[in-house]
A = this chain, B = another copy of it.
């Protein structure tokens, strides 16, 4: 069944007591540099440091007590794992997170810090899914997929709901990064339904499976990403690709070098910590500046969990 604007509104009512209503940040100096009016929805200030708290919370708080107490499991390069661990802890439920061995140590520590059990695996989607399948078969856990899940997509869409409530006048464009497609899928459903804004996804050149899929008219089931944007290394999900195909106007790409440049610009001008994935929308704007000139552009800053000992400069 298709996810609707109403699903996202219900998700927001469900999770609002637990999440932060994150602020919108602006910088006149940055606007001058980029040549448009930028509004940043600061999900790096969200619980667990990323928008993923929204989806994880919506999934956990939608479950019945009996299933929940058997435990939840997921695979994640980091932020969704922390989100599920955090949300499960809020309801006192056991949680297991399968993580790729190359996930940033700060993200592994965060998941463990919320009391979840971490299982490390090889950094491929196949290895992740196998480890999760084994855990489900052996322990009876419920899978909460990091993105290819209606409740997750609806939860992530609540950032766009707040964004549209918070802006004092309409925006021309809303732009979000795309990895597995939870954020962009939910953003597309809500913002296409409730505004006239153009909805754009931003993807690194080295992880352009969604871009390729949209060109081909079919989701790529397999793709090996290569990007510093560690949050965007997942391949877009089935439900996510469907939501994106229906609601997103365009996917724009950006180079790795531009991601680092955009990340530094946001650190320097907005004075906030963001992770590389989070810089991808601004990088895409900088790589294709023409279509943004003079426009009012909202960017969802997805997260701020970065390893300070492994900065990309």
Contact = CB atoms under 8 A, between A and B. Distances in A.
Interface residues of A, number: 17
A44 interface: yes
B44 A271 contact: yes
A271 B272 contact: yes
A296 interface: no
A184 interface: no
A268 B45 CA distance: 11
Contacts of A311: 308, 311
Contacts of A49: 271
A168 interface: no
Contacts of A309: 313
Nearest to A42: B271
Contact of A304 (B44, B106, B271, B274): B271
A81 to B, nearest CB: 17
A56 to B, nearest CB: 16
Contacts of A267: 273, 308
Interface in A279-313: 304, 308-309, 311, 313
Nearest to A266: B273
A272 B264 CA distance: 13
B45 A271 contact: yes
A52 to B, nearest CB: 14
A23 interface: yes
Nearest to A113: B29
Most buried by B among A44, A271, A309: A271
B304 A313 contact: no
A251 to B, nearest CB: 27
A44 B27 CA distance: 13
Nearest to A263: B308
Contacts of A264: 308
Contacts of A273: 267-268, 271-273
Interface in A221-272: 264, 267-268, 271-272
Contacts of A44: 271
B313 A308 contact: yes
Given A268-B308, A273-B273, 4 more contacts: A106-B268, A264-B308, A271-B304, A272-B272
21 contacts: A23-B23, A44-B271, A45-B271, A49-B271, A106-B268, A264-B308, A267-B273, A267-B308, A268-B273, A268-B308, A271-B272, A271-B273, A271-B274, A271-B304, A272-B272, A272-B273, A273-B273, A308-B311, A308-B313, A309-B313, A311-B311
Interface of A: 23, 44-45, 49, 106, 264, 267-268, 271-274, 304, 308-309, 311, 313
The 5 closest A-B pairs by CB, nearest first: A271-B304, A271-B273, A44-B271, A267-B273, A272-B272
